[in-house]
């Protein structure tokens, strides 16, 4: 079996290779499971197709890595099979679309089956099977965050990232989840190295110090 998964984030995913159920994998991120991936690779139990960027992987799902079977999680489904993904809207619809539009099978595990959804993120016509979980499970997004949790510090950091990295490319806004990751990727942990209005910098530093003190 060939697995295509954006983030190897659970040990159970690699157990499939130890048991010989899966052999090949394409992915974007392994994180804490990276050492186990390396060991399985050395033992000959796992073959890596490629390590992709997230966007590159999702694009190839529609071109040359089209899945035959898709297993995804969501927050809720209604009686017709429409899906509300909750906080994980960002990548789930494109994964489902890749299979649904190429005669693949789409199975969705949900926390609840309800009469009315807050919104429809994936239509029932794309879904083959809906399974209600036997116990509640948590869903965490890869990139975006709940806008209610964005505070002044995140807004200021976002302004700095746009000014220091993206301004030359005429980018004027960013999804909230990109802010801290872009700072890390560009090695811009020293906020003074980013072009920013002088009047803003003292407030950024003070907010950063307050957040560090509270953690």
Asked if pLDDT for residue 27 goes beyond 80, the answer is: yes
Of 15-24, 124-133, 173-182, give the lowest mean pLDDT range: 173-182
Q: What are the start-end ranges of the H helices in the chain?
A: 11-18, 34-42, 54-61, 92-100, 152-161, 178-185, 201-214
Residue 137 dihedral angles phi and psi, to the nearest 5°: -135, 155
* 151-198 tens-digit pLDDT: 777 677 777 767 776 667 676 655 544 444 444 444 333 333 344 444
Averaged pLDDT score across all residues of the chain: 80
Residue 187: in which H helix or E strand, if any? none
Q: What is the mean pLDDT of residues 59-84?
A: 94
Handedness of CA 177, 178, 179, 180 (dihedral sign): positive
Q: What pairing do the DSSP bridges indicate for beta strands 83-84 and 69-78?
A: antiparallel
Q: Which of 177, 176, 207, 178 is nearest to 191 (CA)?
A: 207
Q: Which of 151, 148, 140, 147 is nearest to 175 (CA)?
A: 147
Quickly state the pLDDT bin for 116 (edges 50, 70, 90).
Answer: very high
Percent of the chain whose pLDDT exceeds 90: 50
| Token pair for 196 | 């920013």
Edge to edge, the sheet with strand 47-51 lists 2-7, 24-29, 47-51
Q: What's the CA gap between 132 and 70, in Å, rounded?
A: 16
């Amino acid at each position: 079996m060939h697995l295509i998964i954006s983030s190897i984030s659970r040990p159970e995913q690699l157990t499939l290779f130890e048991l010989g159920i899966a052999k090949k994998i394409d992915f974007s991120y392994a994180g804490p499971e990276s050492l186990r991936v390396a060991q399985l690779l050395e033992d000959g139990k796992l073959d890596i197709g490629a390590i992709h960027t997230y966007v590159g992987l999702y694009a190839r799902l529609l071109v040359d890595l089209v899945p035959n079977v898709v297993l995804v999680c969501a927050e809720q489904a209604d009686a017709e099979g429409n899906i509300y993904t909750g906080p994980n809207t960002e990548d789930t619809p494109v994964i489902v679309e890749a299979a649904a539009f190429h005669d693949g099978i789409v199975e969705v595990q949900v926390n609840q089956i309800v009469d009315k959804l807050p919104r429809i993120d994936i239509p029932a016509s794309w879904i083959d099977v809906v399974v209600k979980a036997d116990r509640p499970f948590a869903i965490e997004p890869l990139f975006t965050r709940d806008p209610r949790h964005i505070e002044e510090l995140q807004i200021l950091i976002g302004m700095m990232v746009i000014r220091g990295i993206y301004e030359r490319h005429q980018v004027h806004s960013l999804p909230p989840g990109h802010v801290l990751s872009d700072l890390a990727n560009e090695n811009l942990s020293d906020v003074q190295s980013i072009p920013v209005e002088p009047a803003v910098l003292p407030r950024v530093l003070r907010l950063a110090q307050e957040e560090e003190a509270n953690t």
